[in-house]
């Protein structure tokens, strides 16, 4: 297969932990050819298919200089066997526009994973609203009074922006309510932006678990991202320690409840964040943790993903 990866610049990849690199490496091992571009390289003009300025690459096996560019060319997205959208968050206006361009490419005949409409319909913080039976007490609002009421009810809460990633902008406010007003003003920008507020889950000390669902099926191991020191955030980008673990019975229950639904909607890969018994986020833009799980358990997550991709292609 000819695969096109739409991603961040290849030059900034940290290959020892990058999930997109792991996907590329496994695809190349199986003989698939690789091309890459960034979202800003994708364009559409009336009367023509969606195209991109792409780089055909080969992997070198050298961690320091890990790819060579064979050619640079303009190509229609529909000419590739599969297009993998792997641009990291944030899900901003440009990401939103990119999903529309990719959906137009689908009309041209391109096969895009994850499906552009599904990416657009599942913003990572808000996608959990559809599954109230799987989540803890949660509020989404712009109104400071709603947040005050929620805090009065639950006492210990987490506040976070809807467009954050890697733990950015996450605050905890305890029973004393210290700085709740100031934090609210910072996050909701005087009522201009919506905020997610969730009851603090003390099970975070055991880790914020990333449960991967590939082709509707759970990967048998999760990565528990454990906060360090006085930090409340388990995100690896915020200094959390990643520890791979077998899925618990509750993790499997959650994954089996969500997996078929997400797969049916065109989400080949999703990363479900679980604290204790509750889902806190459903990540679909660029889920990670493949390499950390493989390095600690031997479970080849990239191989599971390429298996699912090949199966999806053979079924189309």
Q: State the catalytic residue, choosing from 210, 235, 251, 292.
A: 210
How far apart CA 168 and CA 26 sit, in angstroms, is 31
Q: State the catalytic residue, choosing from 225, 235, 251, 292.
A: 225
How far apart CA 294 and CA 223 sit, in angstroms, is 10
Question: To which residue do tokens 């210290």 refer?
Answer: 178
Q: State the catalytic residue, choosing from 25, 125, 199, 209.
A: 125
Q: State the catalytic residue, choosing from 124, 251, 273, 292.
A: 273
How far apart CA 35 and CA 52 sit, in angstroms, is 11
Question: To which residue do tokens 């910072």 refer?
Answer: 186
Are the C-beta atoms of 239 and 228 separated by less than 8 Å? yes
* Catalytic (active site) residue 249: no
Angle, in degrees to the nearest 10, between helices 301-314 and 290-297 = 120
- For the record, the structure tokens of 69 come out as 């560019």
Q: State the catalytic residue, choosing from 160, 188, 209, 251.
A: 160
Nearest to residue 218, comparing CAs of 249, 181, 180?
Answer: 249
Angle, in degrees to the nearest 10, between helices 144-154 and 180-188 = 140
* Catalytic (active site) residue 160: yes
* Catalytic (active site) residue 206: no
How far apart CA 13 and CA 5 sit, in angstroms, is 13
Say how far residue 144 (Cα) sits from the centre of its chain: 29
Question: To which residue do tokens 């007003």 refer?
Answer: 181
Which phi and psi angles does 257 have, rounded to 5°? -75, -40
- For the record, the structure tokens of 312 come out as 């999806």
* Catalytic (active site) residue 283: yes
Q: State the catalytic residue, choosing from 26, 106, 208, 281.
A: 281
Q: What share of the chain is helix, strand, coil (3-state, %, to 5)?
A: 35, 30, 35
Q: State the catalytic residue, choosing from 233, 235, 251, 292.
A: 233
* Catalytic (active site) residue 281: yes
User: H or E segment at 54?
Assistant: strand 51-59
| Positions marked catalytic | 125, 160, 210, 225, 233, 273, 281, 283
């Amino acid at each position: 297969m000819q695969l096109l990866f739409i991603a961040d610049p290849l030059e900034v990849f940290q290959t020892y932990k990058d999930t997109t690199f792991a996907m590329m490496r496994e695809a190349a091992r199986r003989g698939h050819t690789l091309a890459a571009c960034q979202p800003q390289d994708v364009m559409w003009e009336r009367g023509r298919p969606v195209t991109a300025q792409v780089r055909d690459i080969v992997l070198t096996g050298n961690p320091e200089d890990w790819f060579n560019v064979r050619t640079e060319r303009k190509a229609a997205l529909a000419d590739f066997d599969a297009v993998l959208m792997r641009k990291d968050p944030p899900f901003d206006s440009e990401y939103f526009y990119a999903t529309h361009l990719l959906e137009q490419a689908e009309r041209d005949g391109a096969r895009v994973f994850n499906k552009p409409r599904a990416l657009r319909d599942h913003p990572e913080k808000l996608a959990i609203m559809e599954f109230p039976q799987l989540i803890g007490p949660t509020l989404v609002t712009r109104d400071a009074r709603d947040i005050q009421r929620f805090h009065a009810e639950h006492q210990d809460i987490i506040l976070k922006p809807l467009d954050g990633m890697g733990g950015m902008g996450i605050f905890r406010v305890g029973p004393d309510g210290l700085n709740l007003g100031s934090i609210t003003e910072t996050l909701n920008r005087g009522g201009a932006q919506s905020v997610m507020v969730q009851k603090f889950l003390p099970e975070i000390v055991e880790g914020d678990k990333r449960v991967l669902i590939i082709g509707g099926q759970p990967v048998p191991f999760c990565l528990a991202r454990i906060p360090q020191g006085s930090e409340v955030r388990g995100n690896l980008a915020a200094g959390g320690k990643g520890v791979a673990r077998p899925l618990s019975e509750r993790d499997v229950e959650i994954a089996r409840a969500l997996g078929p639904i997400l797969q049916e909607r065109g989400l080949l890969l999703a990363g479900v964040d679980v604290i204790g018994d509750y889902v806190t986020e459903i990540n679909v833009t660029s889920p990670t943790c493949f390499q950390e799980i493989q390095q600690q358990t031997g479970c080849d997550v990239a191989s599971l993903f390429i298996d699912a991709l090949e199966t999806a292609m053979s079924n189309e």
